[in-house]
Amino acid sequence: MFLWFLAVTELDILVDWRVNISLAVGMRLKTLLVLPLLVASLQAALATEVLHNVGGSTTFSIPSDWTISSNAPNFFCHTSSYSVTLNVVSVPATDSQKKIYVSDYDALNTALAPSLYAFEFDYVHQQVNVAGGKIHDMGTPTLNYGPTPNYNFYLGSSSSSYTISVQQYPSHLMDILTFHYVFFDGTTIYMARATVNENVATTAEKILLTDVISSVSSTAIQSPLEDSDGDGISNYDEVIFYSSDPTLKDTNSDGIDDDVITSLGGNPRWDISSTLEYIGENPSRFNLVSKTTYDTVTDERDARPTLEAYNTVVTQRDSRLTVDEIRDARVGSTMIEVSGGKADITMTLEETSDLTDWSIATTSEKTIEVDAPAGTRFYRFKMPEPEPEPEPEPEPEPLPAIATDTYGDRAVYDESNNLYVNDENTPLMRDGVNLRTDSYPGWSFYAIESTSFGYISIWKSSTQIYEYTYDSDGKFISLSQVVDLSFYESLLGQSLN
């Protein structure tokens, strides 16, 4: 980022008592009352704006009825009555200015403050010592810092108010709002002063000044909120704060990416490759170790068990029984003698007919010979567990029923729309083909009930009703047209309308 303390003599432009160098973002102007009657006139004025270049790639949109005069590096415009004026001075930033670094934006703001106060002092100097005027009252400057809304510039601003008179009209007091700015787009420094004569400026003129300032634009920073080189630093911060190249991950090609050095509190333009090389060759001078030594130590460390793993092993060890505890674990436990690599294990089986009284139990013994190789061996016995009972087959899900069939036997259908009586065991068949819900387009299946000979069902269209009869296996027998529904409604136990 840049720092500078510019001589304010470049702003010593005084046309007359009405003219002051001007620029404002409208901190106070935005609070002015905007009357509804001004809307039409403001829209008309904004529709006739002229885009004007003020140096470098920076432009302002100026109302066409304002007077504009440029004399590089100065840009000056004003209303016809000089009630509102704007003057901008552009100063290309030198490379040395770009190389003055600050630690953060707060430090940058602190460095900008003296320049803004100097601008306020210069305004007083112009009014008193140059114009021969008099300051009757003045406010305390308010300082603000930050990016412009479109992130084209970084801006330091001050605003204040004055009550003044000039030598020609000592009794005529004027209330003046002043705004001083220092702003930067990465290539050019701009200094500006804005004034508004509140005694003569109309509300529309004040609002127009705000719109003029809001229109300031620069193409010096491309896509400011993006990160073109993918180094984790936005294009805006690269240009404005670090003065680094937003298209290169390693601005100065020193082998260290920009984000690495900024994370350490440095600037991407610093070339520290030789410093790192020296540290790498002499690590002990900085209480460091070489990477080879570091890797060896960390490998040894990672090979050791963790405290958690150690505690687990100790817990498992302490939970095991000792040999003495195993011997005494059961009443009457004995050590089995081994002879010729064999050991005899004798088991005693007790049998009783009364589970509550083992005094009448009979006993029998069974000896098992097992191989007993050298060393300690442990044996245990268990009864075989019975085979688990097979899981019962799940009951099949019932088929959905025809919505209109709500009584007694019901017609149901499967995923292929084949019709059945109650379940899939009794399909409705005609000519060897399973009847379906869509077998007869335009006809709807309403209900089915059992009879002495099988089943009877009702099919309806928009104009006709037919009775279908089936045998007990669901096979079609005959059909006949229905004239009187009341009999079938009584038989089927539901309305067929």
**pLDDT tens digits, one per residue of 362-421:** 888 888 888 877 776 666 666 677 788 888 888 777 878 786 777 788 888 788 888 888
pLDDT at 457 over 70: yes
Does 28 reside within a domain? yes
Domain annotation covers residue 281: yes
Instruction: Specify the higher pLDDT residue, 300 or 95.
Output: 300
Q: Mean per-residue pLDDT for 136-160?
A: 89
The pLDDT value recorded for residue 477 is 87
**What does the pLDDT look like over 398-410, one tens digit per residue?**
878 786 777 788 8
d(CA 441, CA 350): 80
Q: Which of these three, 200, 218, 236, is where a domain ends?
A: 218
| Per-residue pLDDT at 105 | 82
Region 313-339 average pLDDT:
67
3-state helix, strand, coil in the chain (%, to 5): 25, 30, 45
Number of domains into which the chain is organized: 3
Q: How confident is the model at residue 1 (pLDDT cuts 50, 70, 90)?
A: very low
Please determine, for residue 294, whether its predicted confidence score (pLDDT) is greater than 50: yes
Residues 6+ apart with CB under 8 A from 226: 234, 235
Whole-number Å distance between alpha carbons of 497 and 485: 9
In a domain, 362, yes or no: no
- Judgement on whether residues 24 and 143 belong to the same structural domain of the protein: yes
* Domain residue limits at 487: 411-492
Domain shared by 277 and 214, yes or no = no
More confident residue, 166 or 41: 166
Looking at residue 136, which CATH number applies to its domain? 3.40.1000.10
Q: Examine the domain organization and report whether 158 and 299 are in the same domain.
A: no
Tokens of 226: 């993006």
pLDDT tens digits, one per residue of 131-145: 888 898 999 999 999
Give the C-alpha separation, 179 to 217, whole Å. Answer: 19
Query: Residue 6 pLDDT > 80, yes or no?
Result: no
Higher pLDDT, 164 or 416: 164
Does the pLDDT value for residue 34 go beyond 70?
no
Q: What is the dihedral of CA 216, 220, 222, 225, to 10 degrees?
A: -60
Helices 38-46 and 203-214 pack at an angle, to 10 degrees, of: 40
Let me know if 366 is exposed, middle or buried by CB neighbors in 10 A (0-12, 13-18, 19+). exposed
What's residue 393's pLDDT? 80
pLDDT value for 45: 42
Cα(163)–Cα(174) distance, rounded to whole angstroms?
A: 5
Residue 327, pLDDT > 80, answer no
Please indicate, yes or no, whether residues 134 and 280 belong to a single structural domain of this protein: no
Torsion of CA 69, 71, 72, 76, to 10 degrees: -30
The answer to whether position 41 is within a domain reads yes
Q: Are residues 210 and 124 in the same domain?
A: yes
- Count CA atoms within 13 Å of residue 297 on its CB side: 6
